[in-house]
Structure 1
Amino acid sequence: MKTTKILITLCLLMAWGVSKAASVDTALTYSAAMKRNIKAVVVKPEGYSKDQKYPSLYLLHGFSGDQTDWIKKVPAIQDLADQYKVIIVCPYGAFAGWYVDSPELKDFQYETYITNELVAYIDKNYSTIKDRNSRAITGLSMGGFGGLSLGIKHQDVFGAAGSMSGAVDLRPLSDAFGIEQVLGKYAKYPERWEKASVENLIYLLKPKSLAIIFDCGNDDFLYRFNVILHDKLLERNIPHEFTVRPGSHTWEYWANSITYQMLFFSRFFKGQMPK
């Protein structure tokens, strides 16, 4: 009898623990811009309730990835959602979609999809705080490019933006990673590549108009381009946090990086950024 009671108690405790942990949804969203359904992973924090409103972080995958990358390769993002009481949204950005509205491919309109259609869907179907001051975007590599470019171009949607090992300058990558399929060949359309690169978007920024954080490993092949972006932001007196850590273009690096960025975004959501 005593053993039975202990087992029942353990089962109840385990059930309670499961019910209190972060939960993961797969949202099927329709994109009118691309005329098809697209999946996104949504991580809801522990104790999620429709009676409470939560900030949201859009977390982008890299080249050749998909919406499941973060949850599969860094499952600890569920703990971060719990710790900071944030809804994490991981959109699909295609194998090589580059988070742009492609002038070459009509069914690659990922800028419009994420900043307009997906945000509207998440705000309608989840208990979010529907305000730029409670919405941030970041990502790794291709997604790091997306995090900063979408954040900078859509400051009415996102109040904070970041990048981890981001491809912040597309021009040196003109013959790699499928960028030419969405922008066209660099030799033929150099102005598209110039206009898309993050370092050429910073003219849209004013001091403290967007909370910015980005980092890169010292052994990363994109390291020097991130340093150049950092220097250009300094030249224009744009406040930002830039960190160089030991590491390269790996999931081990990004799993570590997201913990620091989540702290930054949490401070932003709470209005704790330097005035």
Structure 2
Amino acid sequence: MAGNHLGEFLRARRGALSPDEVGMVAHGVRRVAGLRREEVAVLAGVNADYYARLEQGRERRPSAQVLDALGRALRLDPDAQAHLHRLAGTAPALPPRHTPDRVSPALLRLLDGFPGSPAYVVDRTLDVLAANALAEVLHSPFSGLDNLARMTFLDPAGRRFHTRWNRTAQAVVGHLRETAGLDPDSPRLRDLVRTLSTESSDFARLWNTHTVRGKTQEAKHFLHPDVGPLTLTYLALDVRDAPGQQLIVYQAEPSGPDAQALALLGALT
């Protein structure tokens, strides 16, 4: 993952904004998508040549104040703003980068303590480290419950299972981009991104947008061949004694059709 990460991110986010979105009037024929460098510099209140050096990688240590101004100019949300600071080396000290690949016995017992809710543990690259029985059955249309990114982009079941596939795909790539800021030299992330970029043009396109997105609480929409459509909310909980691991727990609205479908799915276990 070595390279001009800061410059690539700034260039991609600049290309994703139009003058209309930032209240600027477009003049003349535009040869590039999105904003010009000079326009970003004006919006951020920085020297245009200095901003050009940031994108080109000739300047790699902007101040936190400059980064905050660039974040506002590029309309970055909090996840993307934090990612920008990490790329520039101005973020607060982070937990240890290495994510344990084994789940503690206590957490394994907790997984099994959710008999009516699909639950699993993932690491920063979305490798599934452990799952309870209901999570296994929920994801049974896939060839394996192994890596959420691979399942989304490379498994034929992905587009049928995720009825809002585009939103799922964007969320998966945004999460991996966040991971790239936390651990840019991760061999596992490098190999995963290489494989997905080679085998999925959709992944390659989304990866090159440099969109950063942490876990949200929005509902997930699934279509399971045995019980039909399911709409589930979820919680993503950080595992304090294993930095980088997250416990994901799905829930259905009580007493509704999704709860009935989830209960029927549970009977299949």
TM-score interval (norm. to shorter): under 0.3
TM-score, scaled to structure 2: 0.24
Higher strand share: 1
Max Rg structure: 2
TM-score, scaled to structure 1: 0.24
Higher relative contact order (CA closer than 8 Å, sequence separation 6+) = 2
